Chain A
Amino acid sequence: MADRDEDKRVVITGMGIVCPLGHDVETVWQAILAGQSGMAKTTVFDASTFPTTFGAEVKNYDFTEYVNRPERHRGSSRGAGFAIGAAAQACKQAGIEIETAGPTDGVARERLGMYLGAGESSVNNDVFFAAILAGWDTDKNEMDWDKWAKVAFGGMDPGYELEQEANAPLAHIAMLTGARGPARNCLTACAASTQAVGEAATLIRAGDADVMIAGGAHSMIHPLGVTGFNRLTALSTRNDTPETASRPFSASRDGFILGEGAAILILESLGSARRRGVEILAEVMGYGSSADAFRVTDMHEEGRGAIAAMTAAISDAGITYGDIDYINAHGTGTSENDYIETKAIKGVFKEKAKGIPVSSVKSMLGHLIGAAGAAELITCVLAIRDNIVPPTMNLDDPDPELDLDYVANAPKKTPVNIVMNESFGFGGQNDVVIIKRFS
């Protein structure tokens, strides 16, 4: 690892974010350091009678402010719109020109790739439900597909339907940037964008690209999304106090808060970054991925898969356990995740575990699902930059079973050089990325 040459070292040269706490990196970071909450009553649809009536929505956002040719992205989904804004910001910081046929930024477009953990977008709810109602015969308990088709074909729009695919954000970012390198999207639930960043780094290391646009975008704040998570009893139902409902690692935690947004990082070989003379924000050191192979519904009791992914990332980074200064936890605020994650961290770090600050910015951002990991990785880069660990908010009633240093309620000034970011998805998908202060 120490001997990696310039083309095998992967650095971060740009970041962009659109999330419930703001639409640019600095605004979001300051809000996090101030312990602000992105949660409020749901406005995207009428959720007033749902078990959960609030969420962490992106507010007052208009992607057209980030591009010169919005007409090329007409009809973009909510998630894709977030991706466009986040990608435009990240490219700007990294000096990658957008919306130009003749870029002069020193990045050959065939060497510019994309790897997103972007999610699907919502069905056209009005028509979707109306078509089912039109076709369903309650007495016979069967569907008349002809009646269904009349409403569905009459109401649905081809462009909107196409845009629901999880690969649609890639299409928009390719149009925006002209990227002709590897183009991939992984949808591995809540681990998706951590995985995307990790995999993007491996493509640069393998020499398949010089620069990768990596991250995620997702919005599941729609009737079927909230229905699905509510039925799983995964969401907090603290409807009277949305601002303090996200309570990772606390005794009174009762679920996560569904958020939405996009986060994009520009990954680049060190050689390319040096040739282009762009500022280096951090270095990507290691990546680990594993499967629990345990149960569809539960994490492995001992955190077997989480431990495997952390161990793999540490080994890949060529560092030792004691080198990690901060762990940005998955920390969803569900009873199970926070308990198993704590156990897994102890399983990896043993007696050192209690000395490492561990925090969950989901206490402020909510859970951005596919976009969560990349959004959180951006906060890791800033933690290194400013030597400050962001807090876990709303942790005023510690769970006696959870005994790590969760950086409760206020950021902590401390030297931060190496950070581990972890994400765990439904179905036992585990992904971990380690980044380091560049030197």
Chain B
Amino acid sequence: MDSARVVVTGLGAVSCLGLTVDDMWAGLTAGRSGIGRITAFDPVGFSCKVAGQVPDYKIQKYLPKTYRKAAKLMCRDIELAIIAANEALVNSGLVTKGIDPDNINIDPTRVGINLGAGLISCDLIELAPAVAASATDGKFDIRKWGKEGLEHVTPLWLLKYLPNMLPCHVGIIHDLQGPSNTITCAETSGHIAIGEAAQTIARGDSDVAVAGGAEAKVNPMVIMRQCLLGRATSEGNDDPESACRPFDAHAKGSVFGEAGGVAILENLENAAGRDAEVLAEIVGIGQSSSINPEYEHIEPDGRGIAIAIEKALQDADVSPAELDLIIPHGTGIPADDLAEAKAIQTVLGDSVSKVAVWPTKSMLSTTGAACGALDVIAAVRAISEGTIPAAKNLEKKADGCELNIVRQPARMDVKYALCCGYTYGGQTAALVLKKFVA
């Protein structure tokens, strides 16, 4: 990256392991899975009945008094983004309008937002009375909908579901007026949003960015989609904690879930100027595409992933051997895991036996636009704590996987960590994080 150095000064996460980053990290280091039977709806008719659900919370608690009325305009994805952004901002020591309007210490025009968001599915129960009012002889009648059914839909309905409403609400709560963007590249949105936010700061267009992603995938439409695509496992319904098995010989598919993850990125000078604690530095970003006509899967040789990793290492001016940790995408979908393993193996070459690889989705589930952000947060914690936790649900590596997957937690100095991601649809991304040295 050119020009300004970009550092991480705050973290916020809401995941199936808890409502805070500390909860998430405690779960990850204890090897606990947050995956359980779906309670958001009755999954009896679904082949996959498990998911990573966020524990109960009250959104009002996270909203300034003056903004509580706006809660009715929020889908769950928006709520998760707000919770994670609040924690990250507080953690960074930045004081915004939403945190303490009397002691603001930011220039709102110099703080941007870049969040990944998913294909947000609407609340089917909310829509159901309108649909029911549009039936003729038991069948949906579009003419009746246009005339009567539509009147049952709350006037601001659409605004709940636009992806850019995640940064919109966060921006209003905290009064952040800088460059704003919403990345919609499915499961690699979080990686890309953080990378792009870093680039925006590096080129001088903002000093600070609220960056990450959020997605609430425990919705019947979403789970159905993943079941139909054969990406969701049907094997873990009796033992949810063991359902998601990245790189394991007995992996049968992924488990989906919900989360929000936010990192506060900051121009180093800005962070130093306010004596902020620096948690890590972002030193490399790389991106590419997988090219595969069957684009629900990554191309079998993982080339698009390898290109992204190579570019990120090049951008960071780091050799593969210098990496201490890789957090892969590792979904538990056998064909995709194998392609990713091949990509990492290609880039690492002889270093493959030395670089620790730690997949997290066995514990956090696949959380769409949030998963890249959760992995970056986990990597920052690994760097700042000097600890790499162990992988979960890895009994025997799948054929063709030669990665050095962490089996025992290790205390070690993590100088360079790489997070990589890919998604159905083909986009790939990699980020290199570095232990901060002034």
List chain A positions with a Cβ less than 8 A from chain B: 45-51, 72, 110, 113-114, 120, 123, 126, 129-130, 132-133, 135-136, 138, 141-150, 152-153, 156-158, 161-162, 164-168, 170-171, 174-175, 178-189, 195, 199, 202-203, 205-208, 223-224, 227-233, 289-297, 304-305, 308, 312, 425-429
Contacts and interface: CB of A to CB of B under 8 A. Distances in A.
A85 B302 CA distance: 28
Interface stretch (B11-19, B140-148, B259-267): B140-148
A372 to B, nearest CB: 14
B181 A133 contact: no
Contacts of A130: 139-140
Contacts of A143: 41, 124-125, 128
Q: Count chain B CB atoms within 10 A of each CB in A114, A291, A426 and give the residue with the most.
A: A291
Nearest to A173: B289
Given A46-B143, A206-B202, 19 more contacts: A132-B124, A133-B138, A145-B45, A146-B42, A148-B220, A152-B220, A167-B425, A174-B291, A180-B304, A183-B287, A183-B426, A187-B163, A188-B163, A227-B150, A228-B158, A289-B179, A291-B113, A296-B168, A429-B164
Nearest to B227: A153
Interface string B112-131: 11000101001011011101
B421 interface: no
Contact of A133 (B113, B132, B154, B178): B132
B295 A305 contact: no
B185 A184 contact: yes
B136 to A, nearest CB: 11
Interface string B43-69: 111100000000000000000000000
Nearest to A52: B146
Contacts of A148: 45, 124, 220
B288 A182 contact: yes
Contacts of A161: 224-225, 228-229
B182 A187 contact: yes
Given A206-B2, A291-B171, A296 B220 contact: no
B230 interface: yes
Contacts of B235: none
A195 B181 contact: yes
A310 to B, nearest CB: 14
B366 interface: no
Given A153-B45, A231-B150, A175 B119 contact: no
Given A152-B220, A187-B117, A308 B185 contact: no
B164 A170 contact: no
B45 A170 contact: no
B46 A149 contact: yes
B394 interface: no
Contacts of A164: 119
Nearest to A231: B155
A133 B140 contact: yes
14 contacts: A132-B132, A136-B128, A158-B230, A162-B424, A167-B425, A167-B427, A170-B426, A175-B293, A183-B289, A187-B117, A187-B184, A203-B199, A232-B159, A293-B176
B186 to A, nearest CB: 5
A158 B220 CA distance: 14
B196 interface: yes
Contact of A186 (B172, B183, B287, B425): B183
Contacts of A426: 159, 162, 164-165, 168
A182 B287 contact: yes
B296 interface: yes
B423 interface: yes
B438 interface: no
B437 interface: no
Q: Count chain B CB atoms within 10 A of each CB in A167, A199, A308 and give the residue with the most.
A: A167
A168 B225 CA distance: 15
